[in-house]
Structure 1
């Protein structure tokens, strides 16, 4: 074991693991799936793997401050490598494994990465293609080497060398460069420091002890570790002692959740929508659709009635108890059976889904944050939850609403700037530390924050009406048949929409009148949330869904609005032809 300085003297993320090694060396820290079975990894074993991999990095020429890129799906070796990079005094640069060759070339070039770890031969080929644009790239290794060949390469590096590398890091040192996936333009590298992560986690663990600090706490990561949301959960689990697992096998996710049985999960709203819609579709296929609908209505009503300490009436309690035996238990099983809590981020969840999950016994806590803020700035708490909001600010985090309605935040988790891009930094970060989120919002009398739209996505109709598309899009997308919805109408006489279909749930023709009526029903329901001037008057169903592969979604499932509007310009215009 390395003889590094006491963790209390360190201002970097090694603090968390070194403290756990002292406090609970033989407790299970992670579980790793190998050959179809989950094996246990103790804190002591994980620490030894991290140090051994760090020695390998040093032996292969990684210097303090170097950038090391990771192009891989979420997996155990990703976490070992992340910590090993820090143990070597370096900076990790995550790259979405779905990134194109040009995207990889830009990130490697801009970051100046010297070493790259890849998962597949296709990844290796893309990195090789990028070498001409990223001359600093030296060694390219397979991520599987992290537990085998890499430690072997570092056998002659002593503990003192690793201790010296750790000593080069402070809370101000950059821990990672995370490139925003972005809906427009080239990704920008967010400089997130060790201090940013430590401040973020200090707040998260304090306000969400039910997640991280409960006995037997565990979570299975399935979102990309290239995203700051999954990354903060990874680091939080290591700090708190919650057992961490990984899977990127989304088709078998329900099976893996059932095997792992996490006590909490994290996801984006689309994940929670998919679970609900799949359960609904299965119920209808089995002739139990009406029962499912009544069960869903009862769950939502029960949650609403018991919010803020309220009590449901006797009839509702009886229905809720009946449906818990018939329906809700099966839905909880889809999340592994033991999950009492979930965290949702990345996009608005909506109060309908929030109440539904709370009603079936899984409290989904919606939060809000960005890559630039090291994940969450605010979140609902188990004991202080208000549906439809993103909760209360984290400790030591300030929030205010600008004159134009934009939300501004200031706090220790807010980044210091974009890598090699002072102009972009100046556009979002004031000299006194206020970060311009680009999101519109409001703060109620109790301090709860509500997101009302994107500043740059506000649609202004020909009649001068300002329309926030997200309110309508979220409602339409909630329908089981709908995959994506994009509201249009800037400078036009009325609001329209482009809709894509989730063909896992609709297997018929896209021209079917039943489908059109179902989408119209979803739009009619969404229109109840807005004024007539803001309502969707016409829509068109597209022949193909929007995905990350065809370039219309970011890796965090956000629609690239400018790209859609560019490629479907003629189709949008056709909505306004009389």
Structure 2
């Protein structure tokens, strides 16, 4: 990309801190009050921590693992690691000690920065298996005890100040030696199957991809506010919540917790919001549940407002004029209804919302647009530094993931698999040349594993994961995600998993939405003790059956779901049934519920 040659991520941050030193970089809620760190203050602290890491023996090209929830110190640590000429290896806080040990060991990390005692304990359980690990730094500093090689974050900063006094030039020498092609991070894919692989991404991968994405989405000027809640260990949040934010000079507000997201959104009023599909599905279901509690007249008014919003958006995106009568009706309904709904979600200042990391249904997309929130869908993988494509903010086509980023080459092979080549593609899997070769064509294109096609406007449509496509016993190819997305559009359904590979017909596992069901059940006079009880209620089974029939009515006979089972609980992260970005882990779920699946194939 033009304008990024020769620069590193450390240069990008230094430019930002110099240009707007007094602008707020981070907001964190402490004791009920949102506290701030400016870009200038962040630059000073970055140098302290970078020098501290050097004092611990972190060498150029070595690795430091990060095990923490999103917080100011996460990004501060990442900036410091880069400034020391090293690379980071983020770890999800939901990982088990074994998984934590795998990332630290495989990445050859010599230092790991952990958030608190709970994460420290995970490291200590596997420390004897990590001969290269020299030190553990605990951010909160609480309960570190007297374990050898364990220090607090404050101690790290103090060590950095001492080291800088004795070695005043070493950090600047490290920074000057960094090259754009150097590996900036090793991101371990959470993966829906198998052991995670370490994806190597360079400084230039991030810089070029951010520059292209920001331009396509029309993000210019200052004054942006973003809320950080998706895990920074995932490439989607890393690209937007860290590097796009720094590039734009945005304020990043760190959410207290996922269950406080809406409350924090109301404080932040983000101008730019990023969410995986499940977040928007929750917005959709939450609005529907709240509306269902209202008197008949109010429910009818909301229905009219959303319908007017959808009609207006549909015309605008088709490039057709909006009739005066519709524009006038929509303006009135927006003032009376839609603006209030946006306000209740904390999205009333949002100029642009972004979704990716998993497919999203057109129903949810249309609903969010109808509310008056411009939502662009993109597509990509960890191996492509997040986006391969994204809908331009001024030319959105609902149902697509947009055209390829400028300068990125995309083609489809004979099986429909999307192949990509460009500045966003990773440099390989760490210590796994075999996997890198298997994922790359002879002419250098990366095999995404996703199946899709171009539409008539050159926008990409993704139909499914190649490995997830079901081939029924009759030889029919069925992409399950289409069916699953449509089922999840039903208010009471939380998750759906369609099965049928080499089977005579398709079946589905369905879970209920614990947030929507209480209101839904109360409206129908259904008494129940818990979700297990409710999942067996005849009225619930009737409603799910009706939803399956509606979905089947849109598909061919071979693509229809013949049998289904409502599970007694939702899929959870703790049970390793979903990934940190809320995608279902098919293999684990199919193995766990094998008996329930087999019962659906008993004739």
On whether the aligned pair clears a TM of 0.5, the verdict is yes
- Counterparts of residues 29-428 of structure 1 (less than 5 Å): 29-144=25-140, 148-158=154-164, 159-210=168-219, 213-233=220-240, 234-287=242-295, 288-314=298-324, 316-333=326-343, 334-428=345-439
Q: Distance in 2 between matches of 1:205 and 1:318?
A: 33
- Counterparts of residues 454-493 of structure 1 (less than 5 Å): 454-493=465-504
Equivalent in the alignment of 1:4 = none
Give the superposition deviation at 1:200: 0.8
Give the superposition deviation at 1:395: 1.4
Give the superposition deviation at 1:419: 0.7
Q: CA RMSD in A?
A: 1.9
Give SS of 2:565's match: strand
Q: Distance in 2 between matches of 1:432 and 1:134?
A: 38
Give SS of 1:63's match: coil
Aligned length: 570
Give SS of 1:132's match: helix
Q: Distance in 1 between matches of 2:131 and 2:299?
A: 59
CA contact (8 A) 1:280 1:289 kept: no
Q: Distance in 2 between matches of 1:447 and 1:245?
A: 36
Give SS of 1:235's match: helix
Give SS of 2:350's match: coil
Give the superposition deviation at 1:320: 2.7
- The unaligned stretches of length 5 or more in structure 1 are 1-6
Q: Distance in 2 between matches of 1:72 and 1:303?
A: 40
Q: Distance in 2 between matches of 1:412 and 1:389?
A: 22
User: Under a length normalisation based on structure 2, what TM-score does the superposition of the two structures give?
Assistant: 0.91
Give the superposition deviation at 1:406: 0.2
Give SS of 2:578's match: coil
- The unaligned stretches of length 5 or more in structure 2 are 142-151, 519-527, 529-533
Give SS of 1:394's match: coil
1:560 matches 2:603: no
CA contact (8 A) 1:78 1:143 kept: no
Residue deviations 1:487-507, cap 9 Å, x none?
011222221111011111113
CA contact (8 A) 2:317 2:395 kept: no
CA contact (8 A) 1:191 1:418 kept: yes
CA contact (8 A) 1:223 1:248 kept: no
Give SS of 1:16's match: helix
Give SS of 2:601's match: coil
CA contact (8 A) 1:72 1:78 kept: yes
CA contact (8 A) 1:340 1:361 kept: no
Give the superposition deviation at 1:45: 1.3
User: Under a length normalisation based on structure 1, what TM-score does the superposition of the two structures give?
Assistant: 0.95
Give the superposition deviation at 1:35: 2.4
Give SS of 2:428's match: coil
